[in-house]
Structure 1
Amino acid sequence: MRILFAGAGNFGHVYPLLPLAKAARAAGHEVFFATGEQLHPAVTAAGLEAVPAGRSVPEGFMEAARSGGLLAPGDADLKPQDVPPEVLADLHVQVFGSVLPRWVTEDLTAALGRLRPDLVVYEALNPGAAFAAHLAGVPAVAHGVGPMTVGPDDARVMEQLLVTAGDLGVDVPGGQLLALARAFVDICPPSLQDPHFLAAPLHRIEQRPVPYAEPGGELPERIRAAEGRFVYVTLGTAFASAEVLRTVVEGLLPLDVPVLVAAGPVVPVAALGEQPERVVAVPWVAQPEALRHAALVVQHGGAGTTLAALAAGLPQLVLPQGADGPANAAAVHAAGAGEYVLAPDLSPQAVGEAARRLMADESYRTGARKVAAEIAGMPDPAATAAKLPDLAA
């Protein structure tokens, strides 16, 4: 069988789909993975054939700004700090409700005509892939990346998506986008999933979240020597800032434990300034390896990192930086597996006090291990891959 996977052009939207894509290939299927070209190196590193589909979120904002008259055709940059919040909110709706889905639909429509897959497995936050599959008459399966929570701006984005679907000639049953899919692969443990979503009339397939990282990448020697005593810090690949990372490190220094900082692709390590020897800052870390040996995770609230830390049974301090971060932070706290500090309250003192509690109070580790046991009991990607032929029939 020939299967096309499709994820939005961001690490946090592609990595969660790669375990199932690799399991499908291991089961003997011919597998392609469609995403923005900036993610193609990650796809090919996983041994999969990459297909161009869509562009990056920053490009989407540039397009929306130009069409809205905020940028002249020749302008090459949009500084969010120069845009009023209400205008930025409107741009967000246009980017995720229209610009990105239309790009993905156009690119995937061409790819589907060329590749003629038997099934499309698309990331649930990449609705353009669902539109393209529907227009091509190809069965589709949605794949989640975390809790299916609804944020304050999601209703407006949904309204715009339905307008976009209508413009493209896609009939959305009952106005529910997931009705375009035959099933939903849910990698979020039920205890963290939104109860309203669990109650929805949907063919839901539970699958264990499997942390993915590109091959290679040993931990730095100083961190390896601190087995089980270091704090792992990451703000992900989209929302990281040097200022926030410096605040976090400053707050952790009084704990007198080693700190491993994954600066990510947005923040140069040099921007963190000179640090004491026990702080090791690197551009990239093989996250599963870091989680295997850390004592505490300080992170941004991205679904992938949140679920990976829970699967490792680690307490975490969540510092939401946007998107689904606040909802994931609340879910971690409700599970007794961590604490969070919202952006307006972020300070070195707040980080230090919360981290000290998390490392001293065993109840947080107990809460995290409870969720880890739940995750370990979920079916693995190979079990889902075995169901894909029936879903394509």
Structure 2
Amino acid sequence: MRILFASLASYGHLYPLLPLAVAARDAGHDVVYATAPDFHPTLEKAGLETAAAGLTLHEAFGLLFTGDTRSRYEVPQAELNEAIGKAFGKLLPTRFMTDLAPVLAERKPDLVVYEMGNPGGAFAAHQAGIPAIGHGFGRVSSGSPMEYIREQLNALAAELGIVGESRLFWGHPFVDICPQSVQAPEFVAGARRVPLRPVGWSEPGELPSGIEGRDRSRPLVYLTLGTTGASQAHLLTSALRGLASLDVDVLVATGPSVDVEALGEVPSNVQLEAWVPQSELLPHVDLVAHHGGSGTTLGAFAAGVPQLVLPQGADQFTNAAAVVEAGAGAKLLGDELTTDAVREAAGRLLADSTVADAVRGLAAEVAGMPSPEDVVAQLPQYV
């Protein structure tokens, strides 16, 4: 079977699809993965054939804010929500649909698997008369700015003659890597879910020194604010100093957008790393403090690790709420994110047996979900 995978050009949108794409290739299917060329090296490291389609998020927002010298944090929230709606609801899907059309005409796939943030893949498949299924990257969000995105998407879908509603992915089957107990109940009630175990993906690499074989009697806390602009140095500094004041070791993944020099001198129990193989690291940690990205949230669920969520934007607030509702951690919002608050919350989570029971339950739920190989075996029925 010929299968085309399609996602936005962002690690948080691309990585969740890679386990299924690789499993499909390993099962003997003819697989090609379409996204913007900037991320083709990542796909090639996974051994996948690539096709060029779409814009990066940076390119899309650059077009919307051409000539605007304000930083993201200087744009009023209402204006930012409108821009997000235009970017994800019209600009990105329209461009992806246009770029993907000749690829579909040439490759003639039997099935398109499109990532939930990239409905341009679904629209292109519709125009070409090719069956399509959606693929999630986490909990299906609601509220602002999703309302702005869905308004634009539903209008675009209507123009193309696609019947249905974007929240339920126009009636398409939906590969859902979010455990049902923490998925949005209103989505579960109406969606054609195909459960898939969330399998962490990170580029091959060595764990930081001292992680393997460490003394587990001393807790290890992992701190990350992701790979996007949300990783601001002052937020990272507040969080790491709060964590470092506990009797723990702290491993910080600074990401590409933080000037490490701006962090100043860090305490002796803090280790800074620009990048870590997160999927391999999580089973070794006792608490993860993070921004609420879907990949880290689901990875912590799978590893059975408590979470202190420090959301900054996008679906991170929804993920933070889901963690708290599941009893798997705590959240600090906005001005609540202080050194003292981080210390108090982290210390409580490390000692809370109720939280420990909740994360063990989530890990068991994830382990019981179908594997990528199991789901690949189901794909022919959707053609």
TM-score normalised per structure 2: 0.95
Which residue type is aligned with residue 283 of structure 1?
Answer: A
- Matched residue type, 1:112: L
Q: Structure 1 residues 79, 176: CA separation in 2 closer, same or farther (over 3 Å shift)?
A: closer
Partner of 1:246: 237
Matched, 1:24 2:15: no
Classify the secondary structure of the residue corresponding to 2:308.
strand
TM-superposition CA deviations, 1:212-231 (whole Å, max 9, x none): 11112222236863546210
The offset of 1:113, in angstroms, is 1.4
Distance 1:226 1:8 in 2: 40
In structure 1, how many angstroms separate the alpha carbons of the residues matched to 2:112 and 2:92?
18
Instruction: Please say if residues 286 and 305 of structure 2, whose CA atoms lie closer than 8 Å, have aligned partners that are also in contact.
Output: yes
Q: Which residue of 2 aligns with 1:196?
A: 186
Alignment of 1:292-307 (within 5 A): 292-307=283-298
Flag structure 1 segments of 5+ consecutive residues without an equivalent.
none
220, 225, 238: which is aligned to 2:209? 220
Equivalences for residues 217-296 of structure 1 within 5 A: 217-221=206-210, 225-227=214-216, 229-238=219-228, 239-296=230-287
**CA–CA separation in structure 1 for the residues paired with 2:257 and 2:16:** 20
Query: In 1, Cα distance between the equivalents of 2:213 and 2:258?
Result: 24
Q: Distance in 2 between matches of 1:361 and 1:83?
A: 39
CA contact 1:165–1:171 (8 Å) conserved in 2: yes
Report the alpha carbon displacement of residue 180 of structure 1 after superposing the two structures with TM.
4.2
Q: 2:117 aligns with which of 113, 121, 125?
A: 125
Map 1:318-333; keep pairs closer than 5 Å. Answer: 318-333=309-324
Q: Secondary structure at the match of 2:61?
A: helix
What does residue 143 of structure 2 align with?
151
Q: Take 2:70 and 2:112, find their aligned partners in 1: how far apart are those partners?
A: 34
d(CA) in 2 for partners of 1:223 and 1:114?
Answer: 47
Retained in 2: the 8 A contact 1:124–1:142? Answer: yes
Post-superposition offset of 1:17: 0.6
Cα pair distance change 1:133/1:178, threshold 3 Å = farther
Q: Distance in 2 between matches of 1:88 and 1:357?
A: 35
Aligned pairs for 1:1-393 within 5 A: 1-66=1-66, 71=67, 79-167=71-159, 170-176=160-166, 178-180=168-170, 182-200=172-190, 202-221=191-210, 225-227=214-216, 229-238=219-228, 239-392=230-383
Per-residue CA deviations over 1:103-138 (Å, capped at 9, x if unaligned) read 111111121112211110011111111111111111
Shift of 1:46: 1.1
Distance in 1 of aligned mates of 2:180 and 2:46: 28
Distance in 1 between residues matched to 2:150 and 2:211, nearest whole Å: 47
| Mapped contact 2:84–2:148 kept (Cα < 8 A) | no
Question: What is the alpha-carbon distance in structure 2 between the residues aligned to residue 314 and residue 260 of structure 1?
Answer: 15
Q: Deviations over 1:57-98 (max 9, x none)?
A: 1211121224xxxx2xxx7x5522443333222212111111
Distance across 1 between alignment mates of 2:43 and 2:171 = 23
- The 1:177–1:374 alpha-carbon spacing in structure 2 relative to 1, beyond 3 Å, is closer
Aligned residues: 381
Aligned counterparts of 2:340 and 2:237: Cα–Cα separation in 1: 13
Per mean C-alpha deviation after superposition, the further-off stretch among 348-357 and 248-257 is 248-257
Give the AA of the match of 1:84. P
Distance 1:220 1:203 in 2: 44
Instruction: Give the whole-Å Cα distance in 2 for the aligned partners of 1:90 and 1:210.
Output: 33
CA 1:175 to 1:336, structure 2 compared with 1: closer, same or farther past 3 Å? Answer: closer
